Homo-oligomer: A and B are copies of this chain.
Amino acid sequence: MKKWVPIASGLLAGFVAATISFADFSTSTNNQVASGSTKSDAEKVYVPFGEKDDYYLFASGGHSGQMFIYGVPSMRHIRTVPVFSQDSATGYGFDEHSKKMMGGYTWGDLHHPAFSETKGDYDGKYMFATDVGNSRAAAMDLETFTVKDIINVPNTSGPHCAAFVTENTEYMFLPTRFAVPIGSEYKPLDEYSQQYRGVMSAVTFDQNQEKLNIAYQVALPPWSYDLSDAGKKSSADWAVMTTYNTEEATTNLEINASQADRDFIVLFNWKELEKMVAEGQYDEVTGQKMIFPEKHKGGIYLVPVAKSPHGVDVTPDGKHFIASGKLAPSMTVFSFEKAFEAVKNQDFSGERNGIPILKYESVMEREVNPENALGPLHTQFDDKGMAYTTMFISSEIVKWDPKTGETLDRVPVQYSPGHSVAAEGDTVSPDGKWLIALNKIAKDSYLSVGPSHPESMQLIDISGKMKVIQSSPVNPEPHYAQIIKADKIKTIEVYPKDENNKLATYKQEDAKIVRNGNEVHVYGIAMRSKFIFDAKAKRPDVIEVNQGDKVFIHLTNTDFDEDITHGFAINSYNLNMEVQPGQTNTLEFTADKAGTFPLYCTNFCSALHQEMTGYFLVKPKN
């Protein structure tokens, strides 16, 4: 067994702050047609008008709170879809429905996106994501690219590595990056080991109701849980998560959480946990079904791993899981089969907090140490089962064979890649062809936009020898991403008429304003190129209320035409919403300011869009 490469704590700061390695790369030949190749790099990434990209890239937007949609291979930014943060362009967080869904928050830190899966393959139906900032999870429908549900996850703080889904989207597991007391109540940090927990949540999504739900939670030890992956095929009932700060340090984690030479991978059997819950093997805490491993035994194991691991990734065939230790310069290949055998034989080397520790030697298959490759973080796969690992410190992607450990290829990226993402890379059958490095540091790669730089995504052609063929700046901050074949996603272009929707108004003559005490409901229409709020009024495009009235504006876009979206804003009232073709949307607010306020369509819709206006008149109280 290879010796661990220890890193003296005192060296850490220097190690981490080390100058980015400007690995050898050539740019002058980037755009030249290689001999024997029919297309230049420029032509490989160019998608002329009339053609479309082959793949969608869904990149997490990090602390922007949103999801970024790009086309691959053009690397063009198609759309930012709001998830956890307000977005006035679409009215997200402004209209009544989305505002309520956001639960009082105006931002989030969107970490890992995950497509819904059927038989281990992306099925193109939903996209899930988590919010590290405010401990939430969201589900986005891919017919409309809108968020259908957001759930608050109690007892946890920062579901960083999630969402990742099981083979048929039975569950997504939300491990937590930060330990907190159960219920998040105030507890002194001196009582950390006793009072704090790193709770993992098993979340389900009901596709009929489009609702997220917490099935159960597991009160893991107060460690930090990082990246995770679900098993596949023969390992489909299992999942793995890395964990660091098993030292249970409560300050200066840079040093104190890097003391132990080994941390753990948490290996658990969710089918068994599901059974335990069904059999009542849990405590009810804060309204949740909570499994306490020290009390409710079974289904969860620890596998020792090189210190402070980040990524753990299951191979497409489901036979292995690969851990990358950010402070140890090696990837470790573990065998599910060996792990199952060790579980069966109770081949344990001890336990922590009541959870058995499997023997490292019994589960490990090999350690892989490509020469001078530093800071392995995350591994993706191609159609041949080859692995591609991001090297944060040495700023490169290393291609290697998980079956032999042999290094096959390396390509420098600019700079400091966190994750990378391969085409259909998390499925049972990756596509090969494309890999995108999600680089944390752009430095001087692009035109400068001041001290706050963009991040950088680089497209790598992996069909032959790896080559970076496009560099794409991106808003802060993609953490993880997934790439799906374009033809798997079937959107709708127009919302269908819903005669059961009591808030919708489809006929011009039905537009009306209804007063009920100090509540005013407007049932209005937006159409090219006017608003109709009250069909019978002298001025159908004017809303007049009294100061202090509670106003509900229910607006239906009756242009059932592709790409004819209307907007609705009232000047100085800090309100904007979008009504997509056929959609009905509601603004709810109090008319607290008296005066004369123009209202208008904010979304350019026709040659007479400028004329699509009206007035909101608020009579003063006295």
Contact = CB atoms under 8 A, between A and B. Distances in A.
A135 B613 contact: no
Contact of A610 (B27, B76, B310): B310
Contacts of A521: none
Interface in A47-84: 48-53, 56, 61-65, 69, 71, 75-81
Interface string A401-440: 0000000000000100010000000000000000000001
A598 interface: yes
B45 A65 contact: no
A310 B608 CA distance: 10
A11 interface: no
Contact of A16 (B245, B310, B454, B607): B607
A254 B608 contact: yes
A473 B78 contact: yes
A536 B341 CA distance: 51
Contact of A145 (B158, B392, B452, B608): B452
B476 A90 contact: yes
Interface string A592-622: 0011111010111111101111110111100
A75 B74 CA distance: 11
Interface stretch (A228-236, A280-288, A491-499): A491-499
Assembly of this chain: how many copies? 2
A508 to B, nearest CB: 12
Given A49-B458, A251-B539, 16 more contacts: A17-B606, A27-B49, A31-B43, A40-B43, A49-B468, A75-B76, A76-B446, A79-B473, A80-B475, A107-B576, A180-B595, A180-B597, A185-B595, A186-B594, A189-B542, A224-B610
A260 interface: no
Given A574-B107, A602-B109, A565 B617 contact: no
Nearest to A90: B452
Contact of A542 (B87, B251, B565): B251
A194 interface: no
7 contacts: A63-B603, A186-B595, A189-B542, A189-B615, A250-B539, A310-B610, A448-B493
Contacts of A594: 185-186
A146 interface: yes
Interface string A466-483: 001001111111010000
A502 interface: no
A168 interface: no
- Between A79, A245, A583, the greatest number of chain B beta carbons within 10 A of the residue's beta carbon is seen for A79
A160 B450 CA distance: 28
A612 B254 contact: yes
Contacts of A250: 539, 542, 615
Nearest to A93: B106
Contacts of A277: none
Contacts of A104: 574
A336 to B, nearest CB: 26
Given A392-B607, A562-B443, A607-B375, A108 B88 contact: yes
Interface in A240-255: 244-245, 250-254
A189 B617 contact: yes
A614 B157 CA distance: 12
A174 to B, nearest CB: 14
A337 interface: no
A89 B475 contact: yes
A290 interface: no
B107 A494 contact: no
Contacts of A569: 63, 109, 133
A447 to B, nearest CB: 5
B451 A602 contact: no
Contacts of A45: 42, 46
A253 to B, nearest CB: 4
Contact of A49 (B392, B393, B471): B471
Contacts of A567: 63
A113 interface: no
B610 A226 contact: yes
B107 A441 contact: no
A597 B183 CA distance: 11
A120 interface: no
A540 interface: yes
A554 interface: no
A352 to B, nearest CB: 20
A449 B70 CA distance: 10
A565 B451 contact: yes
Given A42-B40, A49-B471, A449-B491, A611 B571 contact: no
Given A63-B88, A251-B541, A252-B541, A448 B489 contact: yes
Contact of A64 (B89, B186, B443): B89
B107 A88 contact: yes
A177 interface: yes
A89 B63 contact: yes
Contacts of A580: 450-452
